[in-house]
Every structure is written in C-alpha cells, then in structure tokens.
Amino acid sequence: MNSKLTLILIIASAIAITGCSKDSFNEKDAIAAQVELLNQKYQHEIELETLKQKGATAMQELINKATLAQLKLTDSLTQKNVAADRKRDYSVTVVDVVTNAPVAAADVTVSSEGKIFSAKTNEQGVATFSSLYLFPTTPFLISKTGYAATQILQQNLLVGTAKLWNTADLTNEITGTLYIETDLINTTPEKVGANVLVTASASIPASPSGAYTVYFPTYTTATGTYSLKVPVAPNGYTLSFEQVTADQKLIVNATEDDAATTFPAALPRVATIKTYFGVNKFTAPVPTAVNTIYFKFAPDVTGKTLYLSGNGYYSNNQVLLSATGSKYQVERLNVTSTYNNNGNYIDYNAFTYTPNSKVDVELVDVVGNVIETAPKLTGIIGSNGKLAYYYSSEGGNGYVHLKRNDAGVLVEGAKGSILKANLYDTYSNLYTLNPSNSVNTATNISVANTFLITNKGDKKVVNFYYGAGESRVKQVY
C-alpha cells in the first residue's frame, strides 16, 4: 500500500515540477488540483475490502490519466512556441483586372488562430497585416462594392497580385434577336418569343492563377429580342441559351407511329410534333417533302384506292396552269408516270373498275395553301375495267384529265382556282403546280457565341438561330 502512495506522489510531483515553468497557462493550480484528486481517490481505494485486486486497477487508470494530461500540456506549449516563431507581416496588393490600376478602399480579410483580421487597401492598392500566423493555403478574401469578390492564397502573395473586376460600369451592351423554326412549311424563321433565358458569362483571371466565372442573365421579350448590359471583360463573353421546347409544324411523309414510311402506304401530311431546340444545334432531320400534291382515285370495285404522286425526282406528272390575274387555273395534265416519287413501280392493272365508266380523281393539297377551288378531274375506264391512257382534247395525255360531260364539254369549275404556281414556260405563259423542291425549309445558321468586348462602350448586335431543332419526341420520315 505504501508503495502505491509513493508512486502517486512521484507522478504528481513530476507534473507539478513541469508545470511550474509556464505561469502564463496557470499550470501550477491545475496540477495541484489534480494531485488532490488523486489523493482523494486513493484514500477511497484503501477503504475497499478488495484493495489488492480493484485497488491496483483503479491506480493504473489514475496513472494513465495523469500521463495523458502531461502530454496534452506539453503539446500545447510546443504549438504556442511554433506559432510565435512563424508569425509574419503580410502585404496584399489589389489591382483592377482590366486596367491593372491599383484599387483603393478594398476590404481584405484573413483568419489567423481563430480570429478574423481586416484591413483596407491604401491609394496604392496595398493592405498590410502585422504578426499573423498563417499557413501557405490560408486565403486572403478581397471585396469591394461594385466589384466581383476574389481571393489570393498566402503562398501566392510573392508571385502576383489580387485582381478585382469592376462589374458596376455597365456601359457595354450585347443585343440581338433569337430565331426559331417552329413552322417548316413557310420560308421564313419565326422569333423565339418571350422568357427565354440568355446568359453572358465572363472568365476572369484569379489571383494570380486560375480563373472564376461571372454570369449576367436576361430574358427575351415577346418579339424574341434580348439585351445585356455588361462591363468590359478581359477575355470577352460567351453567350449561352436556354433549351426551348415547342411544337413544330412540318410536312411528314410518315412518322415512327406509321406501319409504313413510304408513299402510297404512308401519305404525306401536315404534322405538329414537339421539338427540342438549342442554339447552334441542328441535328433534328428535316424531311424532304416534294410530294405535297398527289392524285387520289375513287376506290375500285375491290375497295382499293390508287394514289399517284405529283411532280418529283422519279415522277414526271405535270399539272400545267395559266395565269388569271393573281391566281391560276388548270389547262391540261400530263399524268404519265409509271413510278411514284419514292421510286416504287405503279401497277395500274392491279386496280379494277366498272368497265366503260369514268372515275373521279381528287387533287390533294397536303399543305392546304395551294388550291383555292379544287379542279374537277377524271380517269377513263376501258372495256376491260382498267384505267386507260389517252390524249385529251385540251392537249394533255396520260391517266388523268379535266372532267368533261358526255357531250365532251368541260364541266363547270373543271379548271379550279389555284393560288400558287411555278413558272414553267415563258413562251407559252404556262406554269406548273407541283413543286420540284422540298416544301419543308429551315434556316440553320451557326453563329459564334464567343466574342470580345474590350473597350468601354462597345456594343454588339448578334442574332442567334435555334433553327430546325436538335431532336424531336418522334422520328419523322
């Protein structure tokens, strides 16, 4: 028992002696209190009946705690000495990122040993700090009203300056109009409309390496225009544009919903399909739609319907017209093709009609803006019940002609009223109804979206195109 008491006193004395050398931390009082605690616990131990077993265990726990307290104390004294040795004075120089001129009255803030230190830059753009304990990666934070905040690490103070960017001088401007192809049937692009997000971003050199990005957003007006007031940026601006989702009107020969994709199993038609648009992204295919006028025969005796395509790459069927004021009328037809516009062979003998009869033929206007009043057309059926090829009195030839009565006179309104036509023969003053190029048109103009604004007061007018779109919810043909 005496040996245990002696051991406690030796440890306590060692702690007390070590603590006497540092009065500033009040170690002496702390160690005295610990020695008293040890004595109290030991006195309690000797009163236990199982002193031999439990007393030894309790004693070891007390020894361990006392040793740990000594290590913590020694470590704190060492860190305090190191911090004192590493304290330095620092100067932070702040300049304008564009002009490189000193920036006065900027706030510079840094954290050292759990405290915040602040200073303002003088007329030379310099802020000074005295006796700070910092690590190489300790940041100085720099800010000023009207400027984009930045920072510089302690390790970079000797190799560069902190750079602030003046964002309050909005004397520069970027404006323009956004165009989108929501109607491929007309020949002009539409304007994108209101509330489309347009963002100008500037990459600003950090202090003294790397970069950070600042964004200036705006929204388009109802007329598709945008306007951005921006400051001079050292590396210019990059414009980005929100993706737009809109319904697009176009002529399709078929879509992925159709069992067949070629004429006449699939008939061309006007479709409205949800489309995703992005500036300078034109990957949505534009279907080639030249077969927007076609002939539809009345069903044969078996219920089958014969379709013939209008003028196109394979088909040479013609509807020839003359001008009547600002409109046109059909004069004759040359419907002779044995192939449809997709190159598929037409087997006229596959269709059987009532012998020695006439079959009505409808001229279908897919777009709906070409024919004002449909012409009246007919096909002649021979004694074998098959469609006959013949020459008409108006000079046409083939399988379809203007409709006549039994006396051979054109029926009333046979020539119809046509709104649009293409010049065919200037000498004869003839026009052709069927287009030879695609009705779907798109303006897909790629415009660079990165440019410099390096001088105060610079103004840029840049129009951007969403074009025909980047994808659709359905595949079209």
The SS3 of residue 77 is: helix
Classify residue 124: in a domain, yes or no.
yes
Beta bridge partners of 271: 250
C-alpha of 17 from chain center: 72
pLDDT digits (tens, 9 = 90+) for 125-164: 999 999 999 999 999 999 999 998 899 999 999 888 999 9
Q: Does some domain include residue 279?
A: no
Q: Is residue 439 part of a domain?
A: no
Q: Is 137 left (phi over 0), alpha (psi -120 to 50) or beta?
A: alpha
Domain identity same for 203 and 239: yes
pLDDT in tens, 83-115: 667 899 999 999 999 999 999 999 999 999 889
CATH number for the domain spanning 141: value is: 2.60.40.1120
User: Nearest Cα to 204, choosing from 164, 161, 144, 151?
Assistant: 164
Q: Are residues 131 and 50 in the same domain?
A: no
d(CA 148, CA 301): 81
Question: Residue 88 belongs to what H/E stretch?
Answer: strand 88-96
Q: Which of 166, 182, 212 is the last residue of a domain?
A: 166
Q: Are residues 63 and 92 located together in one domain of the fold?
A: no
Q: Is residue 259 part of a domain?
A: no
74 and 183 in one domain?
Answer: no
> In sequence order, what E strands does 381-421 have?
390-391, 397-398, 401-402, 417-418
Question: Which DSSP symbol is given to 348?
Answer: G
> Is the C-alpha dihedral spanning 244, 470, 250, 332 positive or negative?
positive
Q: What are the DSSP calls for 19-65, one per residue?
A: HTT-GGGTHHHHHHHHHHHHHHHHHHHHTSTTIIIIIHHHHHHHHHH
What pLDDT, in 10s, does the model give residues 47-67?
A: 544 444 444 455 555 545 555
Torsion of CA 36, 42, 47, 51, to 10 degrees: 180
Please name the residues in contact with 421: beta carbons below 8 A apart, sequence gap of 6 or more. 321, 323, 328, 431, 432, 433
In a shared domain, residues 159 and 94:
yes
Maximum CA extent, the chain: 146
Q: At which of 166, 190, 216 does a domain end?
A: 166
pLDDT recorded at residue 457 = 87
pLDDT of residue 336: 93
Identify the residue with better confidence: 22 or 78.
78
**Same domain? 305 vs 423:** yes
Residue 24 has pLDDT above 50, yes or no: no
Q: Contact at 8 Å (CB) between 62 and 114? A: no
Residues 302 and 427 in one domain: yes
pLDDT at position 25 over 50? no
Same domain for 147 and 214, yes or no, is no
Per-residue pLDDT, 433: 84
Q: How far apart are CA 122 and CA 119, in angstroms?
A: 9
| Domain assignment of residue 409, yes or no | yes
Phi, psi of 3 (to 5 degrees): -65, -35
Cα–Cα distance measured from residue 96 to residue 231, given in angstroms and rounded to the nearest whole number? 13
Residues 330 and 453 reside in one and the same domain? no
CA distance 451 to 49: 90
Domain of 106?
A: 88-166
Which residues, at least 6 apart from 265, have a Cβ–Cβ distance to it below 8 Å? 259
Q: pLDDT at residue 31 above 70?
A: no
How far apart CA 35 and CA 174 sit, in angstroms, is 78
Helices (H), 202-358: none
In this structure, is residue 392 part of a structural domain?
A: yes
Give the tens place of pLDDT for each residue, 240-277: 999 999 999 999 999 999 999 988 999 999 999 999 99
* pLDDT the model gives residue 17: 39
Average pLDDT of the chain is 85
Burial class (CB in 10 A: 0-12, 13-18, 19+), 82: exposed
pLDDT band, residue 12 (cuts 50/70/90)? very low
Asked if residue 297 and residue 427 are part of one domain, the reply reads yes
Backbone CA torsion sign across 186, 189, 194, 196: positive
- Percentage of the chain beyond pLDDT 70 is 81
Cα separation, 416 vs 344, in Å, equals: 30
pLDDT at 343: 79
* 208 and 311 housed in the same domain: no
Token pair for residue 372? Answer: 């004002």
CA distances from residue 2 to 7, 8, 391, 414 in whole angstroms, order as listed: 9, 10, 139, 134
**Which pLDDT belongs to residue 83?**
61
Q: What is residue 447's predicted lDDT score, i.e. its pLDDT?
A: 92
Identify whether 264 is part of a domain: no
pLDDT for 455 equals 82
Note the pLDDT tens digit of each residue in 268-324: 999 999 999 999 999 999 998 877 899 999 999 999 999 998 865 556 789 999 999
Residue 414, in any domain of the structure: yes
**pLDDT, tens only, 171-221:** 999 999 999 999 999 999 999 999 999 999 999 988 777 888 889 999 999
Domain count, the chain: 4
Calculate the CA 474 to chain-centre distance. 20
pLDDT of 22 strictly over 80: no
Identify whether residues 448 and 410 lie together within a single domain: no
Output the pTM of the full model.
0.70
How confident is the model over 416-434, as pLDDT tens digits? 999 999 898 888 889 998 7
